[in-house]
Structure formats: structure tokens, C-alpha cells
Amino acid sequence: MAIMGTIAPILTAGWMGANGDDGWRLADYVARGGYAMLRQILENRRPPEEIIAEVKTSVLRGRGGAGFPTGLKWSFMPRALSGDKYVVCNTDEGEPGTFKDRDITRCNPHAIIEGMAIAAYAMGANRGYNYIHGEIWEIYKRFEEALDEARQAGFIGQNILGSGFSFELFAHHGYGAYVCGEETALLESIEGKKGQPRFKPPFPASFGLFGRPTTINNTETLASIPFILKMGGEAYLNAGKPNNGGSKVFSVSGHVNRPGNYEIPMGTPFTQLLELAGGVRGGRKLKAVIPGGSSSPVLPADRIMECTLDYDSISKAGSMFGSGALIVMDETTCMVKALERLSWFYHEESCGQCTPCREGTGWLYQVVHRIENGEGRPDDLETLAHVAGNIGGRTICALGDAAAMPVQSFIQHFRDEFLYHIEHKTCLVPKDVQWAGSDFHRFGN
Amino acid sequence: MLDIEIDGKKARVPEGSTVMDAAQLMGVYIPHFCYHKKLSIAANCRMCLVQAEKAPKPLPACATPVTNGMKVFTHSEMAVKAQKGVMEFLLINHPLDCPVCDQGGECQLQDLAVGYGSDTGRFAEEKHITLARNAGALISMQEMSRCIHCTRCVRFGEEIAGVMELGMANRNVHSEITTFLGRTIDSELSGNMIDLCPVGALTSKPFRYTARAWELQRRRSVSPHDALGANLIVQTRQDKVVRVLPRENEAVNECWISDKDRFSYLALNAAERLLKPMVKQGGKWREVEWNVALDYVAHGLKDVLARSGADAIAALAAPHATLEELFLLKKLFAALGSANVDFRLRRQDFSTDGKKKGASWLGLRLADLRHQEAVLIVGSFLRKDHPLMAQRLRHATQKHGAEISMLSVTGDDPLFSLFAREVVKPSQLACALAAVLKVAAAEKGLTLEGVTGLESVTPNDTARAIAHSLIAHDKHAVLLGNVAEQSPQAGVLHALAQKLAEVTGATLGFFGEAANSVGGQLIGLGQGANAGDLLEKPREAYVLWGVEPELDCGNPQAAQTALKGAKMVAQFTAFKHTPALEYADVLLPTAPFTETSGTFVNTEGRIQSFQGVARPAGEVRPGWKILRVLGNVLDLPGFDYNSSEAVLAETGLSGEFAAGLDNRLSDTTVTLAEPAPEGLERIADVPIYFTDALVRRSAPLQKTADAAAPTARLAPATLARLGFAAGETVRVRQGAGETSLTLVADAALPEDCVRVAAGHAATAALGAMFGVLTLERG
Amino acid sequence: MMFSAETLRKFNREVAKYPAGRERSAVMACLALAQEEQGWLSPEAIEAVANYLGIAPIAAYEVASFYNMYDLKPLGKYKLTLCTNLPCALSGANHAAAYLKEKLGIALGETTADGRFTLVEGECMGACGDAPVMLINNRHLCARMVPEEIDRVLEECA
């Protein structure tokens, strides 16, 4: 996989090109200037409010997909409250198309640890967990090793660097549940329960892990913290676009010549990222891109080609920036089949708690599956719109919306393809074109 | 207070209210399934989605906090669209089997589908099916496809019953309510999950396919099974009881009942029901008319009176007999010149008789249990003896952090976390309590008077922790359980508990053994002869009122010896009780609680009268009528009652709560007992489904784990020391009797003890519930 | 206890990650370790983990049945979990599935007659840049599952 960029790598700095992820260890990180910011903050007893203000200035927005301003989130924590308070890192990366946190953890785990320690200091937290996607077990083990290194070096644990500040940090692994990427499901999971999201309010900042004040941030968000503080919030913001601060790691998958992670400034034109990723595979025509992880609405080629990669531009185009994960599909792709697979995913991953999602995601899949298999009925698209409409906005967490949006956007932009499937019991994209493109169609399960 | 407007109605509601709370206060109905006022909020069914001003999406009323000035619309287009959408989802995988579903007619889903469902479905795919489960004798899980995953049952287990037996396994549409891999549901409160289930997924196994809800009469009644007096709805069809449900009374049972309250009715139609009076003549039983039977009893009593005097006749009554029955029985005997009536059948120590200032009771109202901050429970099988009081205490500790401690004779789990616990041999219970008292007195700087032997008591850390906990709180109680009341040291325990309560300022109370334990005291039982004396010094004639002596008496050996030697035994009973066929001379079919009116005074002193819910079966007669006629036959004055209410009026008990409740003894001078007796001490509980004639005959209750046949349980170390192995069958001897029991290792027991249950035919040959046992191989 | 001393030591290490009284938090890790030791999660193993942590067996079962990397039935020595989600599918996951099915002579969800391989379909593993990806025994994530690579990986499974 490619890890590249147009700027000096920050988040993916441990990537040593041909030597892969060799630069992940503590010594390498320290050699790159790592832990200097934590040391400086603790030695100078830098006021926590000042750190939070700096993060606010940077306009860093949550990199997990929701894009909530990080500094603001931090300011919700009741610093003065006595007792345990938690910082939790969300490395439960299971949204199809998203794989940036895996690479950040793989080549730069200490950036996460340093970011978490600084976050804990800023918010008055004393314990932390990094929740790591179960399927990337090797990365979980690496993070545990990095924790051991950091603990031995005194960067986490009791009385860090003699400052009197203590922060205990542990890794908790998932074991196969996409929904645990939702922050309250993740907390339930750390508590040893099924990953069923909690109704909010109360929000985690007041009632989080074990009922204590908790802030959950994405891996990339936390890993960005040491560098934001190092370069200054203002400079970080200027590296991106107004309201879209900084640089970011973009995951590009699907029909490109060089799938991988690309660390580039926010606001970079999509066309430039596509070029970095080697362009559309085989030089074929671009058909569509899902721009922010599988839950975000799909955009047809003409729309995405106009976009710059930031919250505002993608939102204006009718989708969501999400986690910055772009799934690229070329002209050989059957959109019905693509939607069928995504619908299966949301059905499979529904936690089963809320009626609309538990019942509705299965219904959506059943209908799309029929259409794909030549058993479509004339009123199916109306049914899909009706069902998706009754799921979206009616559930505890956003998985319901995530299941509804692909259905709505695929049908919105590729209605003809769906109608053709229903009417002709076969695909609009000719078989030879499909097969020429990839094995996607030839070997359906 | 917060201002809220729902559908144009304005109200002020307390801070912290949810929209659902506010709606309920205002009498606005919002459709719901998962919400239940006694359970935590799940917000998963989504049926209660409503529109709130300024909110872009519909919000669940059950989980959304009221904000000041909030405007809510429960019938707006947005709200109704959301509610109908949810209903459609609930129905797509729900089987269309209402015609054969037991829940039909009382199904929340059915009811709401009428208002929010569509007559034709858009869903044209294959329905998902969930397999049936076997969860034991009480709850049917045959049609789990009906489940709507509201998780009320799961939350009930965790939050009310204190044990998670059901969970929701898997995820997505495969989510399934299940026990752990086919286990049965064993909680003594399990039946409440049937009530909580809003659909026909969890149904009553005994009731299945018996009747339709709309065919049933609903009658109010009161449970005779424990000292709580749960309020019941007894449902009948054609004068047959077919179902029992809780009648909500927040002050007593809230909206719950125990499984024995719920399923004991199945005994009412047992084959052993006694339907006609019977007399034994020449060793043969024959059915007779009522007048023949009553004449027989009258003559029998008169003969003994004439020949041997008033002390030669005795009456023993069940403590769950109605107040009216107990009163008339006492009155009848008094008129014959005898005070030989008692209902304290399991008691062994009567040293407090004559010293009690009033009737022993809980010492506080049931509803206040939940507000206690520190409680010491002495000698109680709490959860099985008092399921719903245990539930209130569970709430106190889980929700309010109450510190509940126990001095007990087993380590049985109350299903809540204890602050401290000391498990001791039965003979050591008084010393354990004295140790707490000693610490408390020292802490308070008080000198204890009147406790001989206190100097030899050495308090341990547990005693200190308990004493400190009691002293540190304002709302606190010392509560004595059945073991403490049945112990040979009951008087010492009572006196020590009173002293401890005085020293710490705590409330002193008794959980109470049975439905009318308080009522019987209030009409003066326990002030004349005592049951121990009446059996140990055999009398010539016995009247047994609802008693099965070999199961109900503290010392079944003594009881059986006395009865077998008597000239006349008249048994007033609902059942043809096999052992009674040997020693009794006349059986008189007496109405169970469902077939008579009457009154119970529960442990908080609440006077609860009830009517019969069904016509008496066969020639069964209500007890008060039988006693009235017997009084007439005996030519006694003052037996001309027209109703049970007239009897009640004569008792002088009236109002909501009885007067005359007082747990104090006039003299609390005690001497701590001698060292424990040599040998293996018996620990005897009366398991929850062995407690009275009805539950003993409820077939479904008898199939549950709690009704397992008695075993002999020993601490592993004791078992090893004696050279026995778990699983062996041994001869257990006590006094003149013996029985064969299987040995079980039980780490929760104190050493040098054997736990052998009472109240069961298998152990009826043994002696007193307290005492020394021997075990022999082969 | 049905687990080895080594596994119990690992249990303790997991429990130590959480505050006192929060032993339940370690249930995911302990179930994973139990499965690692025994190959699958038998009812007995689930109950033993529950007892170790002092929780109801059904609470442990809820967890074991919710997360899809727990195996509640015995399976082959090597569990091959192939991601077939959209990014992997666009990059040849279906081809990889067909190749694996043919090579092993089994359908998805089945185990080879010799008990060596079980082939299952997985959901997104968060490694779409390496698509198609396959996870071996929940531990080792293999990238770019083209036929030659599949051959190589299966050969390594001794």
C-alpha cells in the first residue's frame, strides 16, 4: 500500500518508504522530536485552558467522520470534578474505505500516546483507553508494545516526568463490530458489554465510561495534537482552509492504480489526490466516488471532480467529508451490486437495538438483493425510499442514517441503472465491460 | 420546576423529568413498548417518537429530558409519521398469529397496531423466524418470533430480580432474547417478566391456551403466601381460578408479585382437593354430610373436656389462616374454657411470651425499606422467605447505595451486594449479634446492662464494620428473619436486637413468617399456651386448622407423636393430606383464600380484607362459616355472625393500619448461651415452594429448581473431615427419626453444620429445625 | 478452571487494565484468549470466563454472540476470513473467494474435510488500501489476495 503525500509527513512520519513502517519505535519518534511537546507542557505547567484554546484556534475537526471541533469538545469536560475522568481514543476503524488510523497506529503509535497524554492533561483526565479494531490484531499488539515503551520511559503512568501529573493508558481491542466505532457503543464495549450505542443526553462528557466524564477522539485527531501545538494553532489552520484546518490523511481505495493513504492539506482538489493515487485504474473513465467512507452519499464523477477535499466543498456537492476515505468506482461498476454489498454490511452490523435499524436494514438489503438478482418489482424503488426514510433520523445512533444514505444517494444519482435492473432483470453495464474492469461481477457469491 | 406544553396543554413538571414523565403526569398518552416506569430507560423501541419544537428529528419521549419552555407535539405529522414508521417495522417480522396467540386481547402491539398500523403491509420479503426455547415450567418461550426486542425482560432480571437470566444474544435482525444455552429461568420473581412482555413472546406456561383475556372475571385478592400480602388480581372463568396477576399497590407489592403468589393457584384444582367432609370409622374413611362431621367434632371435643378437662384439648392453626378464622378458633376454644390455641408452629423458644409490649412487626412501612441507609439483617433466608422485601432492599442498595449487612447461617446470595456478612452456626447467631452490640455500645460510650456473658464475646472486623455502619447512618434498621424467630435462642436474639436498636437509634423489626403472623398476634394468639408445649405434652384432642403438622411444625417428630396418640384429631383443610389420613379422625373441607372472604394483617400492620373470588368447590365451606356453625353445634354463645365482616368488626381491628404494633420487650435481660452443642448442627430453611399447602401442590412450582428435593449440604471441609464425598447417599438421623439424603458440598455453609430443608415429606421424619444431626453411611 | 496457567495469567493482565470493580470490562479480551487457547468458544468456556469475572453467563454469552470474531462452533485449524466488502470487492475479493472455494473445495462457512481450513466471509477490516484482505485465525492480516498470494499464504499454514 502506498503512503505518500504532498507535504512533509506528520501523522505518517514513521513510514520509511521502502523500509515500510520501521520508524514506529519510541527512539525513532523521539528522534523526530516526539514527546518534546508533552515534556514542555509538563515542565512549564502550561495552563490547560491555553492548550484547549490553541486546539480551538487550529480548527481541528474530529477526524473520525463527524467533524466536531475538537477544542470545543475538550472544553465540555468538567475539569474540576474530582474522581476518575477518561480520554478514549477511537481506533475502531471499520467503515468501508477507511484505513488511515491503522497506518497511523502502525507507523506512528507514539504520536497517539503523546496526543492522548496531552489531551488528558488539558482535560484533567487520569485514565485512558485506546480502543483498537479487532481485525487489525497485529496493530493492537504493536500499540501495546508502544505503550510499554512509553510507560518505561515515563511518558505515561504515575507522576509523568516528575510533574505530578499522572495518566494511565491501556489498549482495549474490539472483536468484530463496526458499530463500536460509534463513541457510546465503544464505551459500552470497554465496559464489557455488547456494543449498543447509548441514548444521548447524557453525553459522555458528563456520563461516559463507567459513568464518569469521558472524551472520545479519533486516532488521527489525537495523533495531530502534538504537532498542532508544536506548529501553533494558527499555522495549522493556515495549512488547510478556513473552517477546515490543517492537513489530513486520506484513504483512497477501489479503482485507482495506487490505493493507499495520502497525507495532504485540507482543501486539496480531488483531482490532485486522484493523480497522487495513480489515476483511475487502466485509464478508464471515473463513474462515481463515495467521498467520506461508505456511509456518505455517493457522488457521480462530474460532481466529485469539481470538489476540493474539505468539509465545505464536499457538503456543498451533496455528500459528507466523513473520515476522508474515498472509494473510487470506474465505469465498469454496477451500482446496484455495489449498493447490495453495502446494504448487506449495514444489515449485518446493525446492533439490533432500535426497531427501525434492526428491522429496516434487513428489509433494505432484501429488496436491493432482489433487484440485483433479477427479481426487482416496479414499486421497489418507492419501497426503498420509504424504508430508508423511515430509518434515517429515527434511531439512537447514526448507523441508521448510515444505512439509509447510500440507498438514497445511489438511487438518486443512478436511478436509471436501478430501473434498468428492475425492468430487464439484468445490468445496464454490459457484461463484457464489467468483466473487463474487475472481477467484481464475474465471481458474485 | 420546568414549564412544558404537550399538544397545547401546559404544565409544570419537576426538574429531571422526561417528556414521557411529563405526559403521564398530564394524562397524555404516548405510545410505547420498551418504556416501563420501574425499569431503566432503553429508548430502543422508538414507538414514543414525538416532535419537539426546534428539534430537526423526532425524539423519543421516554429518554428526552424536558427543557424549560419546551413544546412537544405527539400527534403532529412528523410524530405520527415516525410512530407509524416504527409500527410498520415492528410488524414486518412479527408473525400474524394473533388468533392463536395467548396475548391476544391484552397485547400492547395489537392495541397500538390498531391505531398506528396499516391494514396492508408493504413488506413482501421473507419473514425472519426465531426458534422456540425451553425456559422451565413457568415461562413459555415457544413463540419468540413475536418478540419485539424491547428488552424489558432483560432489564427486569438485572435491575429488579437481581439476576440476569435472560439476555439479548446476537445482533441485527438475529437479535434474540434467550437464556444461557437452554437454561431455565429460576428467579423467584420470574413471572413478572410475563406481565412486562408487551407481546406474546413470554407467556405463562400454565395458563397457555386456557382462556381468552376477555372471557375472564377480574377479582381483587391478597396473597396468603408471605408476610408482605401482595395485592392480587385473581382471574376466574366459570368459578375456576385460571390466572393470578399483580394488582398494583405501590405501598405493598408495587407492580410485582412473586412466582408463588402467581402460580400457587394451580393447586386449587389438584386431585387431592377435599370436596366433602370425611369421617374415619373403623379405620375406614367415608364421606359424610357436614352436620355429621361437625357433630363428630363437637362430640369429640365435649367427650375429652368432660373426661380430662379443658387443658386436654388444643388447636393449632396455620399462620396464613384468615384473621376471622383465627379469631373464631380462639373464641371457640375460650368458650370451651381452653386457651390452648397457637399458630406459631415453627417457633421453639417462647421465653418472650408475657414480655412483649405488642405485636411483632416490620417496625417500619414496606415503602420505607427502600429509604433505609443501613440495615442489619439477622438470621434470614431473605430472598426466598421474602422475595419482594428483598427486592426493595436490592433497590435500596443498588439505587441509593444502602449498606446492608447480614448475620446469617448460610452464605445464600441475596442478589445484591452486601456491605458486610458473618456466616455462623445457628447456635452462634446470638454471639455474633452480641459482638455487634458490644462494639456499638463501646462506640457510643454506653455501658450495657443485663447481658450476662458479654465479656467472653470478642468482636471481629465484620462486627465492627456492621456496628459502625449502623451508627453512621440516620435511617437504619435491625431486622430479624425467620431463622431468628424459629431459633431456640429467639428470645435472646430479640432482646439483643432491641438493645442494638436502642444503642444505635435503629428501628427494630421482624420480616414476619407468614401472611397473618401479625394479625394472629393482634387478636391475642401467643398469649396463652404455646405450640411447643401443646405438642411436646400430648393432648387428647386436636383441632388442626389448615395445618399439615409434619411439614408445618418446627418439630415434626413431636407433632406426629402427639397426633398419633390423640383420641381425636379434627383437620380443617383444603386437601386430602395423606399423612393426615392416618392420624386424623375427621376431615372438614375448608376454603382456601380464593373461596372465602377474610383479612390478613401484613408485616407492616396493613389490614387487608378480601372477598372470595370463586364459589367454593364441592361442599367446601369458608372457614369462618364452619366455625360459626361449630359454635352453634357446641351450643356456645356469640356465634351468630352473618358475615366475615361482622367477625372482623368484633376483633376490633380497623383502619388502614392496625394499632398495637410494638417490637419491644419489657425485659431484655439475657444470658448468652452455652458453647455450641457437640456434633453437626442442623441448618433448616423452609424452601420457598415448601411453605404452605397450596404451593406444595402447585405442579408447575414443584417443577422449578427451588422445589428440588432436599439434600444434606455440608461445607467441603466438614465433608472431608467426616470422610464423606459429595454425591453419596447417607442416612441422616435426628432424634428418633431418620431419612436418606444425598450429600452436597456447599462452600457457603459454616463448618460442622448440615443444611437439611424442612417443610418436605423427605425430611418430615426428622426432629426440630435446630439441633444436632448424625450422618451414617449406607 | 478449564484454562491453562498461561491463559489465566493473561486474564489477570487484562483485568488489571480496568479500575477495581470493573472486571467485566475484560470479558472481550478473556473470551478472545479463551478462544485462542481452545480454538473456539464452547459453552463451558464462556461460562468459565463469566465465572472468572463474576458476571452472569448470559452476559458473557451476549458479548460472545454479538462480536463476530468469536467462534461459537468448532472450526478448522485455520480460519480464513475474507473481506468481501465494497472496497475489497472492487479490488477482486469475489475472485479471491471463488479461487479459495475452488482450491479448498468448500463453500463459504464450511470447513475442509481434513479439518485444516474454514472459509468465512468478513466485514471491513480497516485495511482497504491492501484490498482484497484476508484475516487468518483472527490474528494475521494478509494483503492483496490475488491467486499467487493466496497460494503462498496457504502454504505457510503448516
DSSP string, A178-230: GGGGSHHHHHHHHTTS---PPPSSSPTTTS-GGGS-EEEEEHHHHHHHHHHHH
Positive or negative: CA dihedral B733, B734, B735, B737: negative
Q: pLDDT tens across B724-755, in order?
A: 999 999 999 998 899 999 999 999 999 999 99
Residue found by looking up cell 442514517 in the block: A401
Look up residue A157 and give its DSSP letter.
Answer: B
Whether the pLDDT of residue A435 is over 70: the answer is no
Helices (H), chain C: 5-15, 27-38, 43-53, 57-66, 86-90, 93-104, 147-156
Contact B180 C57 (CB under 8 A): yes
pLDDT value at position A245? 83
C-alpha neighbours within 13 Å on the C-beta side of residue B645? 3
C-alpha neighbours within 13 Å on the C-beta side of residue A260? 18
pLDDT value at position A386? 97
pLDDT value at position A21? 80
Identify whether the C-beta of residue B206 lies closer than 8 Å to the C-beta of residue B263: yes
Find chain A residues with C-beta within 8 A of C97's C-beta. 443, 445
**CA dihedral of A264, A270, A271, A274, whole degrees rounded to 10:** 70
Rounded to whole angstroms, the Cα distance separating A404 from A295 reads 8
Q: How many CB atoms lie within 10 A of CB A177?
A: 28
- Asked if C59 reaches chain B (Cβ–Cβ under 8 Å), the answer is yes
Q: pLDDT tens across C49-81, in order?
A: 999 999 999 999 999 999 999 999 999 999 999
Name the pLDDT band for A219 (thresholds 50, 70, 90).
Answer: very high
Q: For residue B602, is it left (φ>0), alpha (ψ between -120 and 50) or beta?
A: beta
Identify whether the C-beta of residue B507 lies closer than 8 Å to the C-beta of residue B470: no
pLDDT value at position A299? 98
CA distance B422 to chain C (A): 21
Residue found by looking up cell 485540507 in the block: A266
CA distance C41 to chain A (A): 13
| 3-state helix vs strand vs coil in chain B, percent to 5 | 35, 20, 45
Picking from A178, A192, A439, the nearest residue to C26 by CB comes out as A192
Report the candidate in A172, A117, A174, A113 with the shortest Cα–Cα distance to residue A146.
Answer: A113
Q: Radius of gyration of chain A from Cα atoms?
A: 22
- Asked if A338 reaches chain C (Cβ–Cβ under 8 Å), the answer is yes
Contact C86 A341 (CB under 8 A): yes
Rounded to whole angstroms, the Cα distance separating B664 from B146 reads 55
Whether the pLDDT of residue A9 is over 90: the answer is no
Picking from C47, C56, C62, the nearest residue to B169 by CB comes out as C62
Q: Mean pLDDT throughout B18-35? A: 97
Whether the pLDDT of residue A382 is over 50: the answer is yes
pLDDT value at position A443? 43
Rounded to whole angstroms, the Cα distance separating B294 from B296 reads 5
Contact A345 C85 (CB under 8 A): yes
Q: pLDDT tens across A294-318, in order?
A: 999 999 999 999 999 999 999 999 9
Rounded to whole angstroms, the Cα distance separating B741 from B775 reads 10
Whether the pLDDT of residue B625 is over 50: the answer is yes
Q: Does A202 sit behind a cis peptide bond, omega within 30 degrees of 0 on the bond before it?
A: yes
Cell numbers for B221: 385478592
- Asked if A174 reaches chain B (Cβ–Cβ under 8 Å), the answer is no
Q: pLDDT tens across A390-421, in order?
A: 999 999 999 999 999 999 999 999 999 999 99
Q: pLDDT tens across A67-85, in order?
A: 999 999 999 999 989 999 9
Q: pLDDT tens across B364-396, in order?
A: 999 999 999 999 999 999 999 999 999 999 999
Contact B172 A386 (CB under 8 A): no
CA distance B79 to chain A (A): 11
Q: How far from B18 is each of A395, B540, B619, CA to CA, in Å?
A: 18, 68, 55
Nearest residue in A to C139, CA atom: A137
Contact C61 B167 (CB under 8 A): yes
Q: Mean pLDDT throughout B343-358? A: 97
Identify whether the C-beta of residue A135 lies closer than 8 Å to the C-beta of residue C135: yes
Terminal Cα-to-Cα distance of chain A (whole angstroms): 26
Identify whether the C-beta of residue A176 lies closer than 8 Å to the C-beta of residue C32: no
- Asked if A377 reaches chain B (Cβ–Cβ under 8 Å), the answer is yes
3-state secondary structure of C78: strand
- Asked if A321 reaches chain C (Cβ–Cβ under 8 Å), the answer is no
C-facing residues of A in 376-435 (CB < 8 A) are none
- Asked if A83 reaches chain C (Cβ–Cβ under 8 Å), the answer is no
pLDDT value at position A4? 75
CA distance C16 to chain A (A): 10
Nearest residue in B to C66, CA atom: B170
Q: Which domains does chain C have, with CATH numbers?
A: 5-66 (1.10.10.1590), 78-156 (3.40.30.10)
Picking from B58, B93, B149, the nearest residue to A394 by CB comes out as B58
Rounded to whole angstroms, the Cα distance separating A97 from B427 reads 71
Rounded to whole angstroms, the Cα distance separating A168 from A159 reads 10
Find chain B residues with C-beta within 8 A of C47's C-beta. 180
Find chain C residues with C-beta within 8 A of B178's C-beta. 58
Find chain B residues with C-beta within 8 A of A355's C-beta. 44-47, 86, 89-90, 148-149
Q: pLDDT tens across B651-661, in order?
A: 999 999 999 99
Picking from C57, C58, C66, the nearest residue to B170 by CB comes out as C66
pLDDT value at position A445? 38
Identify whether the C-beta of residue A120 lies closer than 8 Å to the C-beta of residue A126: yes
Picking from A137, A439, A443, the nearest residue to C139 by CB comes out as A137
Residue found by looking up cell 356453625 in the block: B629
pLDDT value at position A5? 75
3-state secondary structure of B683: strand
Q: pLDDT tens across B633-682, in order?
A: 999 999 999 999 999 999 999 999 999 999 999 999 999 976 677 899 99
Identify whether the C-beta of residue B326 lies closer than 8 Å to the C-beta of residue B547: no
Find chain A residues with C-beta within 8 A of C91's C-beta. 253-254, 259, 438
Name the pLDDT band for C1 (thresholds 50, 70, 90).
Answer: low
Picking from C25, C32, C87, the nearest residue to A97 by CB comes out as C87
- Asked if C72 reaches chain B (Cβ–Cβ under 8 Å), the answer is no
Report the candidate in B146, B353, B277, B181 with the shortest Cα–Cα distance to residue B570.
Answer: B277
Q: Radius of gyration of chain B from Cα atoms?
A: 28
Most B CBs within 10 A among A353, A357, A371, A399, hence the mutation to make, goes to A353
Whether the pLDDT of residue A442 is over 70: the answer is no
Rounded to whole angstroms, the Cα distance separating B733 from B739 reads 7
- Asked if C123 reaches chain B (Cβ–Cβ under 8 Å), the answer is no
Contact C58 B171 (CB under 8 A): no
Q: What is the 3-state secondary structure (H, E, C) of B412-450?
A: CCCCCCCCEEEECCHHHHHHHHHHHHHHHHHHHCCCCCC
Q: What is the 3-state secondary structure (H, E, C) of B225-280?
A: CCCCCCEEEEEEECCEEEEEEECCECCCCECCCCHHHHHHHHHCCCCCECCCCEEE
Rounded to whole angstroms, the Cα distance separating B773 from A233 reads 81
DSSP secondary structure letters along B309-334:
-GGGEEEEE-TTS-HHHHHHHHHHHH
Nearest residue in B to A397, CA atom: B44
The residues that bridge with A129 in the sheet, in sequence order, are A88, A170
Contact C58 B178 (CB under 8 A): yes
Rounded to whole angstroms, the Cα distance separating B64 from B62 reads 6
CA distance C105 to chain A (A): 15
Find chain A residues with C-beta within 8 A of C69's C-beta. 134-135, 175-176
Q: pLDDT tens across B326-342, in order?
A: 999 999 999 999 999 99
Most A CBs within 10 A among B171, B175, B176, B177, hence the mutation to make, goes to B171
Q: pLDDT tens across A244-285, in order?
A: 888 999 999 999 999 999 999 999 999 999 999 999 998 999
Rounded to whole angstroms, the Cα distance separating B413 from B403 reads 15
Rounded to whole angstroms, the Cα distance separating B144 from B101 reads 12
Residue type, B60: P
Identify whether the C-beta of residue C90 lies closer than 8 Å to the C-beta of residue C129: no
Look up residue A443 and give its DSSP letter.
Answer: T
Rounded to whole angstroms, the Cα distance separating A5 from A261 reads 8
pLDDT value at position A341? 96
Whether the pLDDT of residue A436 is over 90: the answer is no
Rounded to whole angstroms, the Cα distance separating B146 from B201 reads 5
pLDDT value at position A1? 57
Name the pLDDT band for B121 (thresholds 50, 70, 90).
Answer: confident
The residues that bridge with A15 in the sheet, in sequence order, are none
Report the candidate in B747, B743, B769 with the shortest Cα–Cα distance to residue B757.
Answer: B769
- Asked if C65 reaches chain B (Cβ–Cβ under 8 Å), the answer is yes
- Asked if A353 reaches chain B (Cβ–Cβ under 8 Å), the answer is yes
Contact A394 B123 (CB under 8 A): no
Report the candidate in B401, B406, B396, B398 with the shortest Cα–Cα distance to residue B376.
Answer: B406
3-state secondary structure of A278: coil
CA distance A179 to chain B (A): 11
Q: pLDDT tens across A17-76, in order?
A: 767 788 899 999 999 999 999 999 999 999 999 999 999 999 999 999 889 999 999 999
Helices (H), B505-585: 517-522, 531-536, 549-552, 556-565, 578-583
- Contacting partners of chain C (3+ CB pairs under 8 A): A, B
DSSP H/E element including B196 = helix B192-196
Picking from A97, A348, A444, the nearest residue to C94 by CB comes out as A444
| pLDDT, averaged across chain B | 96
Whether the pLDDT of residue B325 is over 60: the answer is yes
Report the candidate in A195, A196, A177, A174 with the shortest Cα–Cα distance to residue A396.
Answer: A196
Most A CBs within 10 A among B89, B92, B148, B166, hence the mutation to make, goes to B89
Identify whether the C-beta of residue A443 lies closer than 8 Å to the C-beta of residue C98: yes
Identify whether the C-beta of residue B423 lies closer than 8 Å to the C-beta of residue B410: yes
Q: Radius of gyration of chain C from Cα atoms?
A: 17
Q: For residue B470, is it left (φ>0), alpha (ψ between -120 and 50) or beta?
A: alpha
DSSP H/E element including B467 = helix B461-472
Q: pLDDT tens across B491-538, in order?
A: 999 999 999 999 999 999 999 999 999 999 999 999 889 999 999 999
Cell numbers for B435: 459482638
pLDDT value at position A253? 97
Q: Which residues of C97-126 are buried (b: 16+ CB within 10 A; e: fewer)?
A: bbbbbeebebeeebbbeeeebbbbbbbbbb
pTM above 0.80, yes or no: yes
